[in-house]
């Protein structure tokens, strides 16, 4: 797109506001995918805006020019450009653009003056938060997290990265999401959580594969290399950096190329491969295309000396080998003993690794077997649920219908009373069957599903029983997963407790409450009935069943009762 606009300008010579704005509004991924061409385009855009005295167009063009100039490694020039853009935005009183400019400029000077970088970034965030510029804040929070990371304030770093990721998902910034995932990955790597770091990088890769340009994919390869480097897996890190350098579009990313060459030189140096370390340092020197600074010159000189030393050591080693051949039998015997010790130790390590590998394979096989058994159990539960619904459920429905017909035609009061009781019992039985089928089908359910079912129970009982006030409430804010067994057991506990409160305690007010706890949640059923003496009362099947169901669901059962009512608690621990 940028090339198209550049060609259009060259042919037509037009420089009206619409064309200037169209170039300035190009996606960031398109702009940074071809840095050299972008520099030319925005330099011309600045000139065109100035020629028609279009200050907003000039300021926006300077902003984009500052970005690509910085990515091209010309930091001082980028600073001058950004300060001009900031001045223009302040003059025009454009708060959104000024906030972005402050934030971008603060991010760019982070390695030269971290204190100033934090100040500029803070100014930008303050403006954006004041006007609730969500899209702009999403990237600024992310960059502010980077500054805190450089300041070794990891808790603040994590806070701003997560805040940025949440906001980017909210505003649909799919281009920015992988950047934040990468930064979170780097933070987890710093904390030593490499599995989580690699998981975040894989999520980022999924977004990168959908991008039209190559820049993001190259950047991700570098991130993979950095993470492997921190993990100490130097070979994998070198492979990722090398792949990044040879990727399409990498040639335009001057600063990424330099960074990869620096990391490759450092990696080969750690491997004591001084030849490749020297070669990559020399490529880095050529890439900078300017007089090398003192530090780089010293590094190359050091690598040259170490490379020459390595060659001399090799020559000395050959001489020592000749001398060793002429050494006495005692040294040969000593060498044999040492070699035998190494072989024995190596064999020990090999056998140990082999045992560990076999152990891991067995664990994996057991996991697969458990997964298969769980799958078969789930399928069997669904089959039983279907059988209950299609066979027993339909038979009960037929019985109820038949009883209704007979009741309608019955004339004797006793017969009518018995038939009415049978109809009611059949409907309760059918209702219980449906509840069981519901729980069996909910393989991966949640506390919310249980609350919905209890709400149905509340409405049904309140409508059926006069002077009954049954309430169901919850203050659990987080999402809680429940298995089908937990779902059914918790529902049955409430059902049994409510039934006892109505039937034996003559309670009028019953409350079922769910309270959030640190390790899970608490389910409490409380009534205002007449209660009973826990010490002297003989526990019936109902109480035993409730306690058994609570334990089976993974909870702790408690009961309290006095003259003011009864309270039943099932404290659930959720992993």
Measured in Å, how far apart are the chain's first and last C-alpha atoms?
A: 51
The pLDDT of residue 64 is above 90: yes
Residue 47: partners with Cβ closer than 8 Å, 6 or more residues away: none
pLDDT at 8: 46
Contact present, 491 and 540 (Cβ < 8 Å): no
* Percent of the residues in the chain that have a pLDDT greater than 90, as a whole number: 39
Q: What pLDDT is recorded for position 295?
A: 44
CATH number of the domain located at residue range(s) 1-93 in this protein: 1.25.40
pLDDT in tens, 491-531: 999 999 999 999 888 899 999 999 999 889 999 999 999 88
Distance CA 335, CA 352 (A): 25
H or E stretch covering 253: none
Identify the pLDDT of residue 431.
66
Residue 424 has pLDDT above 70, yes or no: no
Residue 307 — very low, low, confident or very high, per pLDDT cuts 50/70/90?
Answer: very low
Flag whether pLDDT at 390 surpasses 60.
no
Token pair recorded at residue 18? 């619409």
Cα 432 from Cα 489, distance rounded (Å): 13
The whole-chain average pLDDT of the chain stands at 82
More confident: 310 or 228: 228
pLDDT score recorded for residue 294: 40
Dist CA 434 CA 338 (whole Å): 76
Residue 503 CA: distances (Å) to CA of 271, 417, 509, 558, 569: 79, 21, 13, 21, 20
**Nearest of 432, 546, 431 to residue 500 by alpha carbon:** 546
- Kindly report, residue by residue over 524-556, the tens digit of the pLDDT: 999 999 888 877 776 677 888 999 999 999 999
pLDDT at residue 62 greater than cutoff 90: yes
Q: Above 70 in pLDDT, residue 74?
A: yes
Number of neighbouring beta carbons within 10 Å of residue 70:
22
* 0.75 surpassed by pTM: no
Q: Give just the sign of the alpha carbon dihedral 316, 319, 324, 325.
A: positive
| C-alpha dihedral (418, 423, 427, 428), degrees to nearest 10 | 0
Give exposure, 554-564, as e/b (b: 16+ Cβ within 10 Å).
bbebebebeee
Higher-pLDDT residue of 307 and 41 is: 41
100 CB-near residues (< 8 Å, 6+ apart): 63, 124, 128, 136, 140
Q: What is the pLDDT of residues 291-304, one digit of tens each?
A: 344 444 444 345 44
Fold of 445-573: Heat Shock Protein 90 (3.30.565)
Provide the sign of the torsion angle of the four alpha carbons 479, 485, 488, 494, taken in this order. Answer: negative
Domains 1-93 and 445-573 share a fold: no
pLDDT > 70? residue 14: no
Do residues 67 and 32 touch, judged by C-beta distance below 8 A?
A: yes
**What's residue 252's pLDDT?**
64
Confidence check: pLDDT of 432 > 70: no
pLDDT tens for 128-167 read: 999 999 998 998 999 999 999 889 999 999 999 999 999 9
% helix / strand / coil in the chain, to the nearest 5? 75, 10, 15
- Distances 538 to 541, 542, 544, 565, 569 between C-alpha atoms, Å: 10, 11, 11, 17, 19
Note the pLDDT tens digit of each residue in 16-25.
Answer: 899 999 999 8
Q: Is the pLDDT of residue 80 over 60?
A: yes
Using an 8 Å Cβ cutoff, are 3 and 37 in contact?
yes
Cα separation, 55 vs 46, in Å, equals 9
pLDDT reported for residue 292: 40
Write down the domain spans for the chain.
1-93, 361-441, 445-573
Alpha helices in 388-483 (DSSP H): 394-409, 413-441, 447-464
Least confidently predicted of 61-65, 106-110, 467-471? 106-110
Q: Within 175-214, where are the H helices?
A: 177-190, 194-208
């Amino acid at each position: 797109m940028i090339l198209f606009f550049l060609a259009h300008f060259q042919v037509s010579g037009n420089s009206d506001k619409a064309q200037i704005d169209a170039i300035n509004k190009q996606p960031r991924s398109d702009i940074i995918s071809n840095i050299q061409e972008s520099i030319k385009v925005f330099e011309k855009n600045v000139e065109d805006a100035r020629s028609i005295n279009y200050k907003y167009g000039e300021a926006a063009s300077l902003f984009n020019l500052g970005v690509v100039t910085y990515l091209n490694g010309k930091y001082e020039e980028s600073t001058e450009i950004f300060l001009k853009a900031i001045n223009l935005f302040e003059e025009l009183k454009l708060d959104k653009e000024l906030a972005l400019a402050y934030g971008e400029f603060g991010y760019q000077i982070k390695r030269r003056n971290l204190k100033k970088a934090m100040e500029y970034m803070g100014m930008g965030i303050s403006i954006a938060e004041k006007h609730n510029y969500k899209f702009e804040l999403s990237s600024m929070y992310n960059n502010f997290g980077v500054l805190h990371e450089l300041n070794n304030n990891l808790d603040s770093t994590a806070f701003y990265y997560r805040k940025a990721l949440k906001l980017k998902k909210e505003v649909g910034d799919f281009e920015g999401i992988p950047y934040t995932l990468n930064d979170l990955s780097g933070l987890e790597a710093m904390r030593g959580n490499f599995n989580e770091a690699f998981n975040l990088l894989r999520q980022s890769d999924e977004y990168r594969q959908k991008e039209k340009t190559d820049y993001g994919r190259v950047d991700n390869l570098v991130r993979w290399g950095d993470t492997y480097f921190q993990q100490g897996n130097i070979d994998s890190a070198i492979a990722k950096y090398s792949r990044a350098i040879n990727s399409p579009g990498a040639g335009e990313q001057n600063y990424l190329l330099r960074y990869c060459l620096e990391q490759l030189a450092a990696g080969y140096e750690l491997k004591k491969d001084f030849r490749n370390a020297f070669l990559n340092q020399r490529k880095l020197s050529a890439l900078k295309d300017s007089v090398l600074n003192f530090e780089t010159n010293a590094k190359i000189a050091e690598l040259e000396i170490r490379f020459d030393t390595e060659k001399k050591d090799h020559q000395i080693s050959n001489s020592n080998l000749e001398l060793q051949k002429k050494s006495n039998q005692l040294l040969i015997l000593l060498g044999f003993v040492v070699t035998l010790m190494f072989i024995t130790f190596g064999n020990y390590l090999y056998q140990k690794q082999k045992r560990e590998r076999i152990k891991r394979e067995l664990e994996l096989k057991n996991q697969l077997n458990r997964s298969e058994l769980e799958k078969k159990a789930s399928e069997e539960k669904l089959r039983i649920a279907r059988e209950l619904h299609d066979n027993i459920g339909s038979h009960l429905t037929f019985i109820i219908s038949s009883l209704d017909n007979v009741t309608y035609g019955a004339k004797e009061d006793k017969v009518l009373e018995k038939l009415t009781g049978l109809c009611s019992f059949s409907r309760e039985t059918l209702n219980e069957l449906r509840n069981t089928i519901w729980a069996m089908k909910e393989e991966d359910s949640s506390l919310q599903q249980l609350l919905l079912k209890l709400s149905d129970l509340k409405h049904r009982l309140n409508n059926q029983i006069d002077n009954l006030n049954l309430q169901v409430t919850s203050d659990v804010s987080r999402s809680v997963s429940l298995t089908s067994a937990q779902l059914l057991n918790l529902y049955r506990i409430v059902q049994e407790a409510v039934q006892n409160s109505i039937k034996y305690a003559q309670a009028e007010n019953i409350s079922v409450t769910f309270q959030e706890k640190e390790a899970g949640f608490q389910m409490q059923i409380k009534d205002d009935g007449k209660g009973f003496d826990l010490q002297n009362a003989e526990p019936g099947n109902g109480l035993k069943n409730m306690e058994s169901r609570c334990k089976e669901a993974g909870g702790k059962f408690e009961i309290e009762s006095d003259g003011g009512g009864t309270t039943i608690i099932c404290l659930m621990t959720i992993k």
